[in-house]
Amino acid sequence: MNKTESRKKLYGIVAVGLMSALVYIGNYMQIPLSDDMRVHLGNSMCLLAGLLFGGTTGGLASGIGGFLFDLFDPRYITSAPMTFINKFVMGWTAGMISRSGGIKSEFARTLTAAIFGQLTYIILYPGKSFIEQLILGNPVETAIGVMLEKAGTACINGVLAVVISVPLALALRKALKASGFGYMTEGTREKKGYFNPLTIALTAFAVIVTIGFAIRLSVDGKITAAQEEKEQSYIQQIDDLNEKVEYLYDKLEMTYPENELNE
């Protein structure tokens, strides 16, 4: 491998690391709406990664940044594997369209790429919530309600992401062309590198962990349902015994003894 190829690989790794960090930080720039819903800037950084560096680099940066944020937050840790997949698809879609030659205007191509990249996530994100609810054993009506609620938040985040990422991409693209990242910002479709050991390994890891979490959620849901059913059975038995005791006290014309504290 010559120095040029080595340098390109190094710049590629740096780009993935840098954009992953921006995606991670963007998720912390948020306005909470409820315990599990929030408006944040993470999606805008995912789109920016794809718009600047193309499908593969943008997808990896988006997936890794989102995955790490969920992984280190107890509220979202079970969603981390699916987040990797959903964010990867969003960044990859935006990157692929931004490198297409069908739209000549740079602004129109960038805007279209951002919109379609975000639309894919708006579809995938509520779908993930719907599947999670079904796995947990909740009825379809509940799953649909959660999905629609998530879809509303996703749309708000989506509009914000497009508005922020498009002008940033147009401004930063010019600056990056004068740097070592210049070759990565060329407006041509990527011709290779979609499938390499890194992307295959990360995707396989996300799929395996997702299946594992799905099984765990399903088992936990069944265990919780069984425990609740057992608790209800115990409560019913206690109520029945109390009724029988009260009946006996009434028949025998007795009163309940008062509890006395032992001094």
Could you read off the pLDDT of 121-142 as tens digits, one per residue?
A: 988 888 777 777 777 677 888 8
pLDDT digits (tens, 9 = 90+) for 177-220: 766 666 666 654 444 444 455 555 555 655 565 555 555 555 55
pLDDT, position 209: 56
Q: Evaluate whether the domain defined by 3-221 bears CATH number 1.10.1760.20.
A: yes
Instruction: Let me know if 60 is exposed, middle or buried by CB neighbors in 10 A (0-12, 13-18, 19+).
Output: buried
pLDDT, position 261: 44
pLDDT digits (tens, 9 = 90+) for 36-71: 667 888 899 999 999 999 888 899 999 999 999 988
CA–CA separation, 44 and 50 (whole Å): 10
Q: Which of 152, 147, 124, 121 is nearest to 134 (CA)?
A: 147
Which of 2-16, 78-92, 139-153, 227-241 has the highest mean predicted lDDT (pLDDT)? 78-92
* pLDDT level of residue 108 (50, 70, 90 thresholds): very high
Rounded (10°) CA dihedral 222, 225, 229, 232? 160
- pTM of this structure: 0.67
Average pLDDT of the chain, as a whole number: 77
**Cβ contacts of 177 within 8 Å, gap of 6 or more:** 185
- The mean per-residue pLDDT over the stretch 19-34 comes to 86
The percentage of the chain sitting over the pLDDT mark of 90, rounded to a whole number, equals 23
Q: Which residue has the higher pLDDT, 8 or 224?
A: 8
pLDDT, position 241: 79
Q: Where are the domains of the chain?
A: 3-221
